[in-house]
Chain A
């Protein structure tokens, strides 16, 4: 039977199932195949904080969305074209996101009376015609998998566990994904359990063959590789890129990297990744708590290491006092905050941009800290190097604000040439800088206002630093009122004077009246929305802030150049507050705090409204 092949320019697939169904793995493998095939892509994992929420329930649903295309794309997509629903809960939880006409591949084996009842379905939606506006493919994923594995010496339960690989095989057929890497991956993953490896591969191939032979799928789809800039690519998540960026920062700063960290969602993967690269001299220290994590990093920085701590919002709250100590001791330190939904524990696996004001002001006293925010998963690499550059050059703690969406989302990354990475190294101070061979630990560089970094082991430069106010120059304890005023102002001036690149504006015709500005992970959805507006003939300018403190020197000029400034944030207007206060510009905020990234369509509507109200 020869099946029809249809060409598509882009597809959005969402895999959804129980948190124990292996949906994240399935999504990861489909992504790897897609990356290998050469599509541009963007992913959005979405999972509960519970490791194994009660089976078959709505709170236990875990999903993975993948957007891939034959052109460059900016987001994981607004609405799926295909939903793979491994059980009734997955269908019910995700159906509201699914546009009419989309495909639903449902595992009919799990649509039992009991499972339907668990999520409040009175009748089986696969049979009661309630899904008539979608294209439903009811596939017996579980029993087909078990049947395919009959010849293996596996319990029924173990065989059933491979149903995600059957689904992956089916989807791989449906979208012409290469299979070699998945087979190799399974062989490696289960190297110590070859039977399990073989069973999973058999399930994967059975899924593929099922697609090929069943009449349920008459069409398969092809999405041609994207025409991206020449280079070597790999797929990378934000957390992995950030970890690589920190390693690269250590190399480029010529400093040993020291990570002090306490496990916390969604930042732990950075600790995991860095702990695997000790051959770079990377020391990873899993501390007893958040405070010890940053404390150890600061202690290592005093000793001449590139000190880093990684955490999420609740951890930043705990680290605040130590960050203040780093501010006043003026030692390099990087605090990575992978923001998540708050307040308090909030929603650990969901994304938010709600820590900006905490990063900015969340310490006692006048305690300025530079802030850098990456704008995409792969940009976490460059942002980490930039944070390190500032920390080392200006001897200051730096906040690096990632978030859950960047951390777990992934995209193809064009690998940089290592030889083109910036040299961010600074010299340690090794000679006295005062009269008669004295060492003045707070005598500053006249240009950067940075103080000398003299590390233990350097003869003649023995000195004491600490949290108590220091006399200008000598660093000795000082309670002198005028000295304190001077030191407060000097520390502020040092941070305000950090060299950050100018804010670039994307305004193709130069005559837009409306500027949409953002920061951090909203770049993708904002840029996609801007594209939609422009494709529809509208005019809108876009700018994206990577440095939140200090802001680029031309920020005020840019804001004042436009009639209206729109600022979408996944918070209640934190950057808007800063921009309004600083530049007296009547910024229009658009805020949603749903634990999810913005959708491009949603933002396009908001931008259009602002444009229209301008006329």
Chain B
């Protein structure tokens, strides 16, 4: 069993090695190790169950000491998530989980810190914290459950609801243009941005695998169905008749295609979707998740408008950038190297002093 000292410095370069500073276990773990004794209390049929099961069965794969994993959430249906995992956890307040997790992760590089949030929590009340966490690149995995509705407050429109959404608070239709979480994250300088689907466990886990391997902030948007207030919001992506046509799988180094569509360069310098059989193989855009220039990733994030004609799923962007906690720890190390370890007497005696008596 490796063990890192508490408050370990982040001196080692760990770019691309998201778990390098987190102590490993030599105990074989299974799904049951990550289940807490609390009864799960989401509505029957909620997409959150599938995500919880996917995460619980994924975590053992990381081989981390369970006590070094922390889930922090805000407020909303999804934010009950930490109660159901037998790790450390904090169910905090509305929108603030990224801020709380930032303080925790910045001071404890030896922890695997996860943020569980929803579209209202992350993009409405907590929008400011989300974008700043992303630009700072603290070592966090942020799972944004996007069901495009407010569930816990019983069905008001959310910042990702489509314009014209009829809800309890918008009987004549909502007026505001929704956020596209992927575009927002890329615009906020995020170093890792992905989208996956609650019902596709294999894909969801593959994205989590990459997200945890990434040191820095990873933002994973999970399309999640709210069967009570916004049922079938993502049905096209699940319907066997159309899903293969509209789902554009993003895999690094692979052409971006669905069963019938392909992404190509447009004449105006952007990108567009063409019928796959109308273009030659060398015209199809090959996905480069590691491109330092975010413009193509951003363009890809805009492809799902108009809604659900074609939807990119997978990792839009994954680039190496020093994580905030590492840089912060390096500054502490540098300060000690330059000035020696802190000495309280010396500190107090600094400046102009004089003696009496």
Contact = CB atoms under 8 A, between A and B. Distances in A.
Interface of A: 32, 35-36, 38, 181, 225, 227-235, 244, 247-248, 251, 256, 258, 260, 277-283, 285, 287-289, 291-292, 295-305, 307, 321-322, 324-325, 329, 415-416, 418, 421, 456-468, 476-477
Contacts of B336: 278-279
B102 A464 contact: no
Contacts of B128: 288-289, 292
Contact of A231 (B69, B339, B340, B357): B357
Interface string B286-327: 000000000000000000000000000000000000000000
Given A232-B349, A258-B107, A325 B67 contact: no
Interface stretch (B51-59, B86-94, B191-199): B86-94
A258 B355 CA distance: 33
B88 A299 contact: no
Interface string B114-131: 000000000000001101
B239 to A, nearest CB: 37
Contact of A305 (B87, B107, B332, B355): B107
A560 to B, nearest CB: 41
A38 B108 contact: no
Contacts of B261: none
B206 interface: no
Given A302-B90, A329-B90, A279 B339 contact: yes
Contacts of B332: 278-279, 281-283
B65 A232 contact: no
A285 B331 CA distance: 12
Contacts, number: 218
Contact of B68 (A244, A258, A456, A468): A456
B208 to A, nearest CB: 20
Contacts of A36: 352, 354
B356 A231 contact: yes
Given A256-B107, A285-B102, A466-B91, 9 more contacts: A233-B353, A282-B342, A287-B99, A303-B103, A303-B104, A322-B93, A457-B23, A457-B65, A464-B91
A464 B89 contact: yes
Given A296-B99, A464-B88, A281 B342 contact: yes
A412 B160 CA distance: 58
Interface in B34-74: 36, 38, 65-70, 72
Contacts of B131: 288
Interface residues of B, number: 64
B271 interface: no
A296 B6 contact: no
A295 B353 contact: no
A251 B67 contact: no
A278 B334 CA distance: 9
B100 A299 contact: yes
A291 B104 contact: no
A418 B352 contact: no
Contact of B90 (A251, A279, A324, A464): A464
Interface centre among B69, B100, B338 (most CB of A within 10 A): B100
A464 B332 CA distance: 30
B188 to A, nearest CB: 11
B342 A295 contact: no
Contacts of A462: 66-67, 86-88
Contacts of B335: 277-279
A289 B355 CA distance: 43
A228 B355 CA distance: 10
Interface in B243-280: none
A13 B70 CA distance: 57
Interface of B: 6-7, 23, 36, 38, 65-70, 72, 75, 82-83, 85-93, 96, 99-108, 110-111, 128-129, 131-132, 328, 331-332, 334-336, 338-342, 344-345, 347-349, 351-357
B355 A303 contact: no
16 contacts: A32-B352, A258-B103, A278-B336, A279-B341, A296-B99, A296-B100, A299-B99, A303-B107, A305-B103, A321-B93, A321-B96, A325-B93, A415-B353, A418-B348, A461-B67, A466-B90
Nearest to A416: B348
A279 B96 CA distance: 29
A456 B353 contact: no
A240 to B, nearest CB: 9
Nearest to A288: B132
A405 B335 CA distance: 32
B181 to A, nearest CB: 18
B65 A459 contact: yes
A325 B89 CA distance: 14
A464 B91 CA distance: 7
Given A459-B65, A461-B67, A464-B36, A292 B96 contact: yes
B38 A300 contact: no
Q: Give 4 nearest A-B pairs by CB, closest first.
A: A230-B357, A466-B91, A296-B103, A299-B103
Contact of B106 (A300, A463, A464): A300
A477 B93 CA distance: 15
Contacts of B345: 418
Contacts of A325: 92-93
B99 A292 contact: yes
Contact of A299 (B72, B89, B349): B72
Contacts of A297: 103
Contacts of B354: 35-36, 38, 232-234
B281 to A, nearest CB: 46
Nearest to A321: B93
Contact of B102 (A228, A296, A305, A418): A296
B59 to A, nearest CB: 12
A416 B351 CA distance: 15
Nearest to A235: B352
A260 B328 CA distance: 13
B347 A464 contact: no
Given A244-B348, A295-B99, A300-B107, A467 B91 contact: yes
A126 B348 CA distance: 46
A307 B128 CA distance: 21
A288 B344 CA distance: 30
Contact of B108 (A289, A303, A460): A303
A300 B104 contact: yes
A139 to B, nearest CB: 28
A326 to B, nearest CB: 10
Nearest to B96: A295
A468 B103 contact: no
Contacts of A298: 100, 103
A295 B341 contact: no
Contacts of A304: 6-7, 108
Interface centre among B72, B96, B102, B104 (most CB of A within 10 A): B104
Nearest to B336: A279
B108 A457 contact: yes
Nearest to B135: A288
A421 B66 CA distance: 38
A233 B342 CA distance: 21
